[in-house]
Amino acid sequence: MQDLFRLDNDVAVVVGGTGELGGAMAEALAASGAQVAILGRSETRGQARVDRIKGQGGTARFYSADALDGDSLVAARDQIGSDFGTPSVLINAAGGNRPDATLPPGADFCDLPLDAWRDVFDLNLVGGALLPSQVFGKGMVAAGRGSIINIASMSGIIPLSRVVAYSAAKAAVINLTLFLAREWATVGVRVNAISPGFFPADQNRRLLFNDDGSYTERGGQIIAHTPMARFGEAGELAGVVVWLASQRASSFVTGQNIAIDGGFASTTI
């Protein structure tokens, strides 16, 4: 059974692997034997993750790339091909939100800035799924083998209050996942999505915790609606990522959106 989850013959690309969740996924893939290419804009954070993976006995390299810049993705893809071979796993973990695309309590949706909306959509849909899937998916289709894992969000399933642009963008990521799964189902490329619930990271920590470590009002509301009564930890994404990456373990799985949310979605039914 353990062999089902070995990735020794795989080259895995993690776009956004410099982030906390993307980095944890990169570590999980490397621990299962994959050669991992971490793509991102921060060489400092990227190299730190590479060093961590190497310290655990894995194989990884950092490649500077901007998920919204097709040319930089192509350059990274070509270098990865030279260093490791054709990628067979792609994790699209780039994404995020911005304050002016978020509605604070009492704000008027009609006043939401269009530029902020567009930036959030571009980051999460274009950079977070579309462009990397085009650039790296081409080689997978040609090779007749590959697994693409898009990182969506619970807010793409349930339109959470305030983060309206982010929620809409992640819903679009799920829709694109379904399209690509159908498009490439007969050519050996599987496309799935993961929708994490609430995982504290640098980007959202101040939204969830006060300086003294207690929950903010928003954090407390989330915990109250999470049956497991806690937030997720980055390492808890490892199992589903390795499962979806493995051709042997999930060979008949495509077009799925897997929620990892501590039961959060169950409280809305």
170-179 pLDDT, tens digit each: 999 999 999 9
The phi, psi pair for 254, rounded to 5°, reads -155, 155
41 neighbors 15 (Cβ within 8 angstroms): no
The whole-number pLDDT of residue 228 equals 93
CA 88 to chain centre: 16
Angle, helices 70-83/131-143, rounded to nearest 10 degrees: 40
* Amino acid 268: pLDDT: 66
What does the alpha-carbon distance between residue 1 and residue 139 come to, in Å, rounded to a whole number?
Answer: 29
- pLDDT tens digits for range 183-204: 999 999 999 999 999 888 877 8
> Going by DSSP bridges, is the β-strand pair 257-260/89-92 parallel, antiparallel, or unpaired?
unpaired
Residues of the chain scoring pLDDT < 50: none
Options 3.40.50.300, 1.10.3720.10, 3.40.50.720, 3.40.50.1000; CATH for 2-197+232-262 is: 3.40.50.720
- The pLDDT assigned to 205 comes to 83
Catalytic residues: 166
